[in-house]
Amino acid sequence: MLRPFELCEPASVAEASELLLRHGEAARIYAGGTELILAMKEGLIHYDYLVNVKTVPGLAGVRLDADGSLRIGAATPHRVLERDPSVSERFPAIARMEADVANVRVREVGTLGGNLCFAEPHADPGALLQVFDATVRLERKGGARTIPLERLFVGPFETCLEGDELLTEIVVPPLAPRSAAVYLKFGFLERPSVGVGVAVTLADGHVADARIAVGSVGPVPRRMRDAEARLQDRPVADSEAALAEAGRIAARASDAITDLHGSAEYKEHLVGVLLRRAFQAALAAVAGSERR
Ligand SMILES: Cc1cc2nc3c(=O)[nH]c(=O)nc-3n(C[C@H](O)[C@H](O)[C@H](O)COP(=O)(O)OP(=O)(O)OC[C@H]3O[C@@H](n4cnc5c(N)ncnc54)[C@H](O)[C@@H]3O)c2cc1C
């Protein structure tokens, strides 16, 4: 049963931060509530004060910068990202990933910021956004910092956010020309069991850049730089052999955990399978965009 709490409606980020500072452990940011209210209903956690960020002006919405970067307000629901034309035209991998998060009811209210800040290991955006080198803006009253998204995640359900800090914005830089990103996941429960994001840039028949991130497998979503190195600066025609090695390296580095989704060995195997498919799909996407 849901115990009573006070819903605070701050008018600014500074006011929200002040409320968090004033009430300490008794207060928590509330966005879509799809995780928070569920956990409170089940009696797993309780807060006396929920600080609603959906009413803070400027925290929801999507815009493109002059340099092509996508700026996503932390309180933007998944459903908006799935449907926004600037996302689907310029960042199709993100729109596709968002369209496959949870179900439409969760996507309608659940926000990207809530997804990242909850740091549930079985989630999609944290892995895909890392192959774009996304950054996050963290703000508190009187200060702000911008960090790479990968540094936000500290452990399962744990981020580097300070008690009075809010995530306010996610910034996604565009990929270089002749690039494509693909995210593939596999799962048979509500949330993903394994997710692999890949971004590839081609130049003169070579893989000029390859970025790989794995999510849902270990405690946090991670970039796989050693695996990336196996694919970079190689002729595209030679990438098949390197893919098997990259898959093995990524599987080992993902710190796979045995849980309800499957054994660590099973997840490691899937990392290799999804990495190969995602890489090949990204190559095909670059080729396809050049034929158009
Ligand atoms: C049935 C179901 C299926 C799901 N399936 C998937 C799936 O397939 N893939 C996937 O990726 N996810 C999945 N999810 C997770 C879903 O994406 C998240 O529930 C949702 O994005 C959380 O956003 P929210 O706004 O509801 O967060 P809330 O529940 O409001 O908050 C979650 C946490 O983040 C904190 N928080 C929220 N916003 C901020 C902020 N701006 N700054 C600081 N802290 C903040 C809150 O204090 C809280 O601790 C699923 C969830 C459910 C319930």
Q: Say how many C-beta atoms besides its own lie within 10 A of residue 231's C-beta.
A: 23
Determine the atom of ligand 1 nearest the C-alpha atom of 124.
11
Q: What is the CATH number of the domain that holds 144?
A: 3.30.465.10
d(CA 256, CA 131): 20
Of 122, 131, 93, 112, nearest in space to 223 by CA: 131
Residue 1 within any structural domain of the chain: no
Within this chain, do residues 189 and 272 fall inside the same structural domain, yes or no?
yes
Contact 50, 6 (CB under 8 A): yes
Buried b (16+ CB within 10 A) or exposed e, 177-188: ebbbbbbbbbbe
pLDDT at 292 > cutoff 90: no
Scored b (16 or more CB within 10 A) or e, 128-147 reads: bbbbbbbbbbbbbbeeeeee
Tell me the three state secondary structure of residue 110. coil
Domain shared by 184 and 150, yes or no: no
| CA–centroid distance, residue 113 to ligand 1 (Å) | 7
- Per-residue pLDDT tens digits for 151-202: 999 999 999 999 999 999 999 999 999 999 999 999 999 999 999 999 999 9
Q: Are residues 187 and 264 in the same domain?
A: yes
- Which of the four pLDDT bands, split at 50, 70 and 90, describes residue 241? confident
Give the C-alpha separation, 182 to 177, whole Å: 15
Both 120 and 77 in one domain: the answer is: yes
What's the sign of the alpha-carbon dihedral 257, 250, 190, 152? positive
Cα of 145 to ligand 1 centre, how many Å? 22
Note whether residue 190 is domain-resident. yes
With a cut of 80, say whether residue 291 has pLDDT above it: no
DSSP string, 48-70: SEEEE-TTSTTSS-EEE-TTS-E
Does residue 107 form part of some domain?
Answer: yes
User: What integer pLDDT is reported at residue 84 of this predicted model?
Assistant: 98
Residues 30 and 67 occupy one common structural domain:
no
Which residue segment(s) compose the domain that 160 sits in? 62-172
User: Among 113-117, 159-163, 251-255, 284-288, whose mean pLDDT is lowest?
Assistant: 284-288
> Using CA atoms, how far apart are residues 219 and 130, in angstroms rounded to an integer?
15
**The tokens 């200060």 sit on which residue?**
143
257 domain-assigned: yes
Top mutation candidate among 36, 44, 107 for ligand 1, by most atoms within 8 Å of CB:
36
Q: CB within 6 Å of ligand 1 — which residues?
A: 28-36, 53, 74, 101-102, 106, 110-111, 113-115, 117-118, 123-125, 161, 166-167, 190-192
Residue 291 lies in a domain: no
211 Cα–ligand 1 center, Å: 26
In a domain, residue 259? The reply is yes
Task: Determine the average pLDDT of the residues in 24-41.
Answer: 97
Question: Does residue 168 share a domain with residue 67?
Answer: yes
First to last CA, the chain: 56
Residue 74's pLDDT is 98
* Residue having the nearest C-alpha atom to atom 39 of ligand 1: 114
Q: Which of 172, 207, 236 is the last residue of a domain?
A: 172
Ligand 1 nearest atom to the CA of residue 125, by list position: 11
Are 139 and 185 within one domain? no
Q: How many domains does the chain have?
A: 3
DSSP H helical ranges for the chain:
13-23, 36-41, 78-83, 85-90, 92-99, 104-109, 112-118, 125-131, 149-152, 225-231, 239-253, 264-291
Q: Report CA(260)–ligand 1 centroid distance (Å).
A: 20
**Residues 103 and 190 placed together within one structural domain of the fold:** no
> 207 alpha carbon to ligand 1 midpoint, in Å?
35
Does any domain span residue 119?
A: yes
Q: Of 113, 147, 172, which residue constitutes the final position of a domain?
A: 172
Average pLDDT over the chain reads 97
Same structural domain, 168 and 185: no
